[in-house]
Structure 1
Amino acid sequence: MKKIILLFTIIGMSSCNSQYKRPLLGETEYQRELNASFKDASKSPLKKKDLENFKGLDFFPVDSTFIVLAKLIKIENAPTFKMATTTDRKPLYKEYGILKFKLKGNDFELTIYQSQDDLQDEKYKDYLFLPFTDDTSGNESYGGGRYMDAMTTDENSDGTITLNFNNTYNPYCAYNDKYSCPLTPRKNHLDIEIKAGIQVFEKH
């Protein structure tokens, strides 16, 4: 996952801290690692009260029909633009390409982005950013949309990329309004219910 998630150190089950002696909740390794990162008070975006009551994030049931192969059409010489966020911060991005795919028998497309700040960091220069909303947004999932990450190295020889909507995550703003999060562009709305991946967070 992207920098904000990857920077988390997943603490092993052998930790002396008793809270990590309990099995981590989650149906998949992705879910367990995300729950572990949110459980770590030194790195969690959760507010103190929410962290005290945290037992695990809510996910839709894992559904293999939401794992799709998308055709990547790269955008050459895309202009740099300032992406709107939940604050006055305006990080620089470029449109990296258009992803075209079929889901539930219908054709969809999403624009995938590349952070220009990440390009300056050797560790993250291959990361791509895919924000989207769908017909669950504002109800069963976070109203501001969900994120999915990919890498430039994920592209297959035939120009496709696998998108796994089960492995989505919420922007930190879904948990704590002190964070600045990119806003999902309107054109990245999917007119379908994506009942896979992370669900809305119920704050205490």
Structure 2
Amino acid sequence: MTKLLTTFLLLLASITALVQQTPEEEIKAFQKHLNEEFANPEESPLTKEDLKSFKELEFFPVDLKYRVKAKLVRTEFTKPFKMATTTDRKPIYRQYGELHFEIDGKLLMLPIYQSYGLMTKEEYKDYLFLPFTDLTNGEESYGGGRFLDLRIPEGNEVTIDFNQAYNPYCAYSGRYSCPIPPKENHLDIAIPVGVKKYKHH
């Protein structure tokens, strides 16, 4: 077998492995990526003091009950609005649609948004922003809510994996300006997965 063919087969195997990644592997890869970002002084939102003692973020245990299929109902012709943030900054978003899903037999809905600032950038033009609050906020998770990043699907079904919910940078340092989830984005249940509240050292 030629060296080139061996390399090609190894590449093919790694691509296949990537395609066949299980939900658990996806979540672990997300956690690993987040920890690497936070440990990197050039990318980390942590203060210099916190960075010195940083080992890893604390996550809730993985629970695939909180990985759900949602129906996307597009809300066309929605007007742009200024989303409140933790500072005077008011970034412009529009509601792209509503995500309808079920957890523990309870029917739930979250509006999902598109950023005007990102829509013009090629790599982010299909990016959707899902901020939310739930009953863990202020106790086990950050009081200001958490975020999820999604992409515009071809059809009308989206997988929401709350195991990949992360904190805004404001949870780690006061030097950031972060969107505040609109009141419509509150879930009246606990979502005990994803990133936990950060304990400053």
| Fold match by TM threshold 0.5 | yes
Q: Give the RMSD, CA atoms, in angstroms.
A: 0.9
1:104 CA displacement: 1.2
Deviations 1:71-106 (A, max 9, x none): 100011110011110111111100000000000111
- Given the alignment, which residue of 170, 174, 180 partners 2:171? 174
| SS class of match (2:163) | coil
Q: Distance in 2 between matches of 1:143 and 1:186?
A: 14
1:49 CA displacement: 1.0
Q: Distance in 2 between matches of 1:167 and 1:197?
A: 5
List 4+ stretches of structure 1 deviating above 3 A: none
Q: How does 1:18-57 map to 2 (within 5 A)?
A: 28-57=28-57
Q: Distance in 2 between matches of 1:42 and 1:70?
A: 36
Q: Distance in 2 between matches of 1:78 and 1:45?
A: 33
Asked if 1:198 is matched to 2:195, the reply is yes
| SS class of match (2:170) | helix
1:66 CA displacement: 0.4
Higher helix share: 2
| SS class of match (2:122) | coil
| SS class of match (1:71) | strand
In structure 2, the partner of 1:69 is 69
In structure 1, the partner of 2:19 is none
Q: Distance in 1 between matches of 2:131 and 2:165?
A: 9
Q: How does 1:68-87 map to 2 (within 5 A)?
A: 68-87=68-87
Deviations 1:38-83 (A, max 9, x none): 0001110000111011010000000010000001000111100111
Q: For structure 2, which runs of at least 5 residues remain unmatched after alignment?
A: 1-26
Asked if 1:131 is matched to 2:128, the reply is no
Task: Report the AA paired with residue 114 of structure 1.
Answer: Q
Give aligned pairs, total: 175
| SS class of match (2:45) | coil
The percent of aligned pairs where both chains have the same amino acid is 51
